[in-house]
Amino acid sequence: MAYQNEMRKRKTIVEGVFACLDRLGWARCKLRSLWEVDCEGFLAALAHNIMKAVRKLKAKAGSIAWEAELRTEMGEVATR
């Protein structure tokens, strides 16, 4: 049972990150030395995290705008 849970977690978390990086163009390392590959991996992780942050900020901004719209429809003054 624990094995199936771990595999389900891996499919949803790790494989999704790899798929996202593939779409960004990091399907394979283009550099050869250990230091260069390490830097390339760092840049890939940074790009992925920036994309996640942008998605979260966009979702949060949308929910705040929706709350403000709802308050104005109900006749309340938006406080945010």
The whole domain housing 64 covers 2-73
Model-level pTM? 0.57
How many residues does this entry show for the chain? 80
With respect to residue 49, please indicate whether it lies within any of the assigned structural domains: yes
Domain count, the chain: 1
With respect to residue 78, please indicate whether it lies within any of the assigned structural domains: no
pLDDT tens track for 8-64: 877 777 777 777 777 777 767 777 888 888 888 888 888 888 888 888 888 877 777
With respect to residue 79, please indicate whether it lies within any of the assigned structural domains: no
Dist. CA 9–CA 47, nearest whole Å: 22
Two structure tokens written together for 11:
């499919």
